[in-house]
Structure 1
């Protein structure tokens, strides 16, 4: 019975797809200043969030290791937009220097060594800047499964609402690179709190967690 239910849900999701990561883009923007300088979006994919950041930033770099998805991002971006899309390894190829105010990373940090990644983000972020991560984690506790169970009916409802005929269809998205998260939420929280004092983390619906951290200002 359980297997049949899961198969039915999977068929529904394929027929009514929607962007779980894009769902969090408005939430991310509410955590950022109204205007800021340079921003970096790590694991930018097809560039939706980078283009959204560009509505407030002076300049945005979208960074991804996949040249095919970067080609799609460039194709979908107006030449006059203040966005550049770069191909490379986030841990070794991100240009030196600070990103004045903002670094974002959505559903990508689990592809990287977590401690190395957040240490890099901390060093690249200028004083007073904001780091926002929306990530995936390995479910293992009762709280994890509770959030997962609550996400199932909401996921179905969102798929139905976002695929109704009265809504204009979104551009086709590039298939996500499927690699499961290996760290638990507790492990992520422990490492993040060690590297980023004062960081805020929360489990979220749709099998995600959020991390927000502000780089301390320099002493006068």
Structure 2
């Protein structure tokens, strides 16, 4: 039954977009759902993903609404790009940082404009008792959410509602290997002043705001 854990947290991430945001970068954009939500707020969005298949799906989905502001989708490996220093007011990374060295956040940090915000919706493996406790707590909520989404989608199909053009394409999946304790240590060094909190559905939220004086 379809239920996307990353999509569930879109609103949480959108609340971190700084006021007056003009430029954004979505790293590991997949089929572009979050990047499009940013663009529809009037933000100029660059969206990158190494998978040609998902970028093609993202482009196809964007063609459904001609005339609306859409992201600039690009197939690229973020670890090989030379990002412009101080360009972006907002950078998002949804369930993709574990596909690359965590140290990549340093390049994302440097690409932030003064006062810019980096948000990472990350995944982590269960290693500690606390990890497993959160994992067990998520199981019944996850089951209920899946049922609710299935009922909603069935109702839409009956009423003739259209499906997302990108729904049948899935971004590549990789199991996370870096435990949350190590993520916290690395983030403290690379993103001083950042905050990290656990979320349900096997996720954590990292938020870093760059100093205005940088």
TM-score by length of 2: 0.89
Per-residue displacement from partner, 1:96-122 (whole Å, max 9, x unpaired)?
A: 24333100000000001001x110111
Does 2:127 correspond to 1:132? no
Query: In the alignment, what sits opposite 1:11?
Result: none
CA change 1:169–1:184 in 2 (3 A) is farther
Deviations 1:157-196 (A, max 9, x none): 0001111133557522422412111100000010001111
Equivalence for 1:55:
40
CA distance in 1 between counterparts of 2:125 and 2:162 reads 32
- DSSP-derived class of the 1:75 partner: helix
TM-score by length of structure 1 reads 0.87
Mapping for residues 7-86 of structure 1, pairs under 5 Å: 16-77=1-62, 78-80=65-67, 81-86=69-74
The separation in 2 between residues aligned to 1:153 and 1:120, in whole angstroms, is: 38
Q: Which residues of structure 1 form unaligned runs of 5+?
A: 1-15
| 2:178 counterpart residue number | 183
CA contact (8 A) 2:54 2:171 kept: no
**Offset of residue 218 of structure 1:** 1.0
CA distance in 2, matches of 1:45, 1:178: 11
Q: Which residue of 1 aligns with 2:99?
A: 111
Task: Judge conservation of contact 2:86–2:114 (CA < 8 Å) in 1.
Answer: no
- The root-mean-square deviation of aligned C-alpha atoms, in Å, is 1.6
Q: SS in structure 1 opposite 2:184?
A: helix
Higher RCO (CA 8 Å, separation ≥ 6 residues): 2
Match of 1:101 among 89, 103, 110: 89
Alignment match of 1:166 (pick from 155, 161, 166): 155
In 1, Cα distance between equivalents of 2:60 and 2:162: 18
Name structure 2 gaps, 5 residues minimum.
none
For residue 5 of structure 2, give the secondary structure of its aligned residue in structure 1: coil
